[in-house]
Amino acid sequence: MFRVRFAPSPTGELHIGGARTALYNYLFARKNKGKFIIRIEDTDQERFVPGSLDRILQGLKWLGLEWDEGPDIKGEFGPYIQSERLELYQKYAHELVDKGSAYYCFCELSRLEILRELQQSQKQPTKYDRECLKLTPDNVKERLARGEKFVIRLKVPEGKTIFTDKVRGEVCVDNSNLDDQVLLKSDGFPTYHLANVVDDHLMQITHVIRGEEWLPSTPKHLLLYEAFGWQPPEFAHLPNVLNDKRAKLSKRKDGEAVWVQTYERDGFLPEALTNFLALLGWHPQDDREIFSLEELVKEFDLDRVQKGGAIFSMQKLRWFNAEYIKKLTLVKLDNLLKPFYKALAQTTGQKIGTTRALTQILQSRLIILKDINEFTHWYFVSDFKLTADILIPKAGNLAKTKSALQLAYELLIDYGDKKWEVEELRNAFEVLVRPGTFTRGELLWPVRVALTGERQSPDVFEVAFVLGREECLKRLLDAQKVLA
Ligand code: GLU
């Protein structure tokens, strides 16, 4: 059975690149009826950010990427948080020392720094010089007995490391380019490399699908598998996510939104984001673009993951989002908009009743849910600052405008039992537009401005429909007072 994992470090929110990695792992697992595992890599205590574990998990849940084993689900390979597995790594590090594949190093930081500076000044690669490999076993014992601080380093063997990456093809590295990597730090914590390999092995991971930035670490990992005598998993390194300047999408730079939670807050839909992320480095067999998560599961294949960087286009993501908003049922969209409506209502101290009608006219206009802030000023204001200046159309005059507002008012007073619907309202008003009486602009401009207080707004009949008869009458009356 295929087993894959997403292994975030709790150093912040869920990054958009991380979400793409998680998604590909999820799709691969579901497609192959395998298992999708979440493992938390928190051995770098300095970078740990409290609260981030929960936020990362919440982000994954919001995207709909359910996992089979993880920190919150008991599984037979747990615990799934590395800081709860420290003894294991210590045991395995010492095992490598016993096997002669790793060694104790007692060098002080100050020595390592001098060494690095020297190598840099001589334009040599910066590597540990194996000073401690010269120690005799008795030396080592003595120093350990004295309680000296130590790290455990991998003894990189001579030769070449070659492997076939499922995305990048054959990768070959001369081991002489690899440093004797620290495996266990002096505080007893493992480094990423050791913990990652030990866990992938113990958790029986069959495919490691991760970002391209980990490609240089893979030869080191393979040397570890070899030293332990373990069968390595398959590797697939996903292309970098690039911004429109072809630079790697990094952490918050130039206002780039890189956190999944930012998208959630602004009103992107998870379905739109997963659809968009799936196509960020992978393409389907045909030129379809809209895919539900289930459809992606069916289509996904590592063979169609590209090598070159994938460009993150905000415009494209927004297009997806608008498409998904259009597909929602009215009830669903209205529910999703509720928190946004509430926030707006709070700013005006207004009570919100039913918003269904408002949602209905907004559905085709929204790109992200947050856009309602711009489209609904006229709904969430209690007092307009109407002036004669904006009520009177450019080509109109005061008298005409006054009578237009009066006429509209009367029309609504006598509306009778006609249906309160956009088209019905349109028909009722259109009758008043006649040559010699009112042009469309002369009649409808002041009515629309009276109802919205704005030069630009949705169609006057849509607005009237949403506001309801009573509110329309009130606003028309107020507008007439402004002109009185
Ligand atoms: N903890 C690493 C990260 O934060 C995981 C890399 C891997 O998947 O091996 O991305």
Helix (H, G, I), strand (E, B) or coil at 473: helix
Rounded-to-integer distance, Cα 168 and Cα 315, Å: 29
**What are the CA-CA distances from residue 266 to residues 27, 126, 279, 368 (Å)?**
26, 45, 21, 7
Amino acid in the structure at residue 41: E
- The structural architecture, per CATH, of the domain 85-238 is 3-Layer(aba) Sandwich (3.40)
Q: Could you write out the three-class secondary structure of 197-225? A: HHHHHHCCCCEEEEEHHHHHHHHHHHHHH
Q: Give the predicted TM-score (pTM) of the model.
A: 0.92
Nearest 10 degrees: CA dihedral of 294, 299, 301, 303? -160
Residue 7 Cβ < 6 Å to ligand 1: yes
CA 116 / ligand 1 centre spacing (Å): 26
CATH code that applies to domain 330-483: 1.10.10.350
> Which residue intervals of the chain bear CATH 3.40.50.620?
1-70+239-327, 85-238
Rounded-to-integer distance, Cα 268 and Cα 370, Å: 9
> Which residue intervals of the chain bear CATH 1.10.10.350?
330-483
Active site residues: 251
Which conformational region is residue 229 in: left (phi greater than 0), alpha (psi within -120 to 50 degrees), or beta?
left
For the segment(s) 1-70+239-327, the CATH number from 1.10.238.10, 3.30.1330.40, 3.40.50.2300, 3.40.50.620 is: 3.40.50.620
Q: Which of 6, 192, 193, 224 has most ligand 1 atoms within 8 Å of its beta carbon, as the pocket-test mutant? A: 192
Q: Could you write out the three-class secondary structure of 167-196? A: CCEEEEEEHHHCCCCEEECCCCCECHHHHH
Let me know: does 388 contact 482? Beta carbons within 8 Å. yes
Residue 214 Cβ < 6 Å to ligand 1: yes
Rounded-to-integer distance, Cα 35 and Cα 32, Å: 9
Residue 8 Cβ < 6 Å to ligand 1: yes
Rounded-to-integer distance, Cα 88 and Cα 196, Å: 12
CA 331 / ligand 1 centre spacing (Å): 40
> pLDDT 10s per residue in the chain (484 long)?
999 999 999 998 999 999 999 999 999 999 999 999 999 999 988 888 889 999 999 999 999 999 999 999 988 999 999 999 999 999 999 999 999 999 999 999 999 999 999 999 999 989 999 999 999 999 999 999 999 999 999 999 999 999 999 999 999 999 999 999 999 999 999 999 999 999 999 999 999 999 999 999 999 999 999 999 999 999 999 999 998 888 888 765 556 678 999 999 999 999 999 999 999 999 999 999 999 999 999 999 999 999 999 999 999 999 999 999 999 999 999 999 999 999 998 888 777 778 999 999 999 999 999 999 888 989 987 667 888 999 999 888 999 999 999 999 999 999 988 999 999 999 999 999 988 889 999 999 999 999 999 888 889 999 999 999 999 999 999 999 999 8
* DSSP-assigned letter for residue 370: G
Let me know: does 395 contact 444? Beta carbons within 8 Å. no
